[in-house]
C-alpha cells in the first residue's frame, strides 16, 4: 500500500497515519517529524529548517525532496509507506513521481482530508504530543487519561512551537497557495480520494479503510 495523506495543517494526517501504520505494518513518512528530529539534533539542515518552520513557511523543496528520496529507498518501504505532509508543492509531487518511477513503484491512492478552517484552528491550538514517544493527542477531541501525561509511555505532553495562532494563520495561507493545487494534480492522475475529515477520528479511519479496500 503506497499512500499519500493530503490535507491542511490539523486535518488529521498524522492521527490517521499512525492508525494505518498499525493496520498495514508499513512505515509513516512524516517530513514534519523528520524535520523536527533534525532541529532537535541541531544538524546543519535542522538549524536552517527551523527558521522556515517557526515562521510557518515551507522548507525549500530541494531539502525535503532529498530527505524523502533517501527515506523511500530504505528496506522498510518495500511493501509500502504512508507519506504524511509530503508532497506539499507541485515540484515536490513531480519529484515524488520521478523517485517512484526510478524505484519501479507507483502510488495506490492520495487520500485528501477535508476539514473546515475554523475546525483546523481549534484542532491545532489543542494539539499535544508526547515528548518521549511522539504519540498525538487533543485536549478536547482525543485527551489522554491523565492530563498532560502520555497513555502509552507516561511521557510529558508538549505543544509544538508552531501551533500558535499567528503561525497557524500563516501555515493556512501557505497551504492554500502551495499545497491545495495538488488536489487537481492528483485528480488528474486519477489518484485522489476525498474523505470528510470533520467526522470523529474513528469514523474518518473507517472511511479511509473503505476506500483502500475498494481499490
The residues that touch ligand ADP, with contacts defined as CB under 6 A, are 7, 9-15, 31-32, 35, 52-53, 56-59, 64, 85-86, 88, 92, 123, 126-127, 136-138, 141-142, 162, 171, 200-201, 204
Instruction: Return d(Cα 119, Cα 106) in angstroms, integer.
Output: 33
Of the residues 21, 155, 180, 201, which one makes contact with Zn ion according to CB under 5 A: 155
- H/E element holding 111? strand 109-114
Q: Which residues make Cβ contacts (< 8 Å) with residue 11, sequence separation at least 6?
A: 113, 114, 115, 120, 197
Residue ranges in 25-160 assigned as alpha helix (H): 31-40, 44-55, 61-72, 90-102, 117-125
Q: Which three cell numbers stand for residue 54?
A: 517557526
| Given 48, 69, 105, 160, the catalytic residue | 160
Which range binds Zn ion by CB under 5 A, 35-43, 70-78, 146-154, 203-211?
Answer: 146-154
Closest among 128, 170, 124, 126 to 148, alpha carbons compared: 128
144 binds, among ligand ADP, Zn ion, none (CB under 5 to 8 A by kind): none
* Closer of 61 and 132 to Zn ion (Cβ): 132
Is 157 a binder of Zn ion (CB under 5 A)? no
| Given 127, 128, 135, 193, the catalytic residue | 127
Q: Is 40 a catalytic residue?
A: no
Active site residues per annotation: 13, 88, 127, 160, 171
Amino acid at each position: 500500500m503506497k499512500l499519500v495523506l493530503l490535507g491542511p495543517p490539523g486535518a488529521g494526517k498524522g492521527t490517521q497515519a499512525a492508525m494505518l501504520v498499525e493496520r498495514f505494518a508499513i512505515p509513516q513518512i512524516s517530513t514534519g517529524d523528520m524535520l523536527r528530529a533534525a532541529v532537535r539534533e541541531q544538524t546543519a539542515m535542522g538549524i536552517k529548517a527551523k527558521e522556515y518552520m517557526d515562521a510557518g513557511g515551507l522548507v525549500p523543496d530541494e531539502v525535503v525532496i532529498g530527505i524523502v528520496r533517501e527515506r523511500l529507498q530504505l528496506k522498510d518501504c518495500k511493501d509500502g509507506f504512508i507519506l504524511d505532509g509530503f508532497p506539499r508543492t507541485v515540484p515536490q509531487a513531480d519529484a515524488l513521481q520521478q523517485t517512484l518511477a526510478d524505484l519501479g513503484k507507483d502510488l495506490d491512492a492520495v487520500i485528501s482530508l477535508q476539514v473546515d478552517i475554523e475546525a483546523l484552528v481549534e484542532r491545532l491550538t489543542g494539539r499535544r504530543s508526547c515528548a518521549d514517544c511522539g504519540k498525538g493527542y487533543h485536549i478536547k477531541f482525543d485527551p489522554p487519561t491523565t492530563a498532560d501525561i502520555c497513555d502509552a509511555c507516561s511521557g510529558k505532553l508538549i505543544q509544538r512551537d508552531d501551533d500558535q495562532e499567528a503561525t497557524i494563520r500563516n501555515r493556512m495561507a501557505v497551504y492554500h497557495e502551495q499545497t491545495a493545487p495538488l488536489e487537481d494534480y492528483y485528480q488528474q492522475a486519477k489518484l485522489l480520494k476525498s474523505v470528510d475529515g470533520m467526522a470523529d477520528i474513528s469514523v474518518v479511519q473507517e472511511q479511509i479503510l473503505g476506500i483502500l479496500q475498494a481499490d
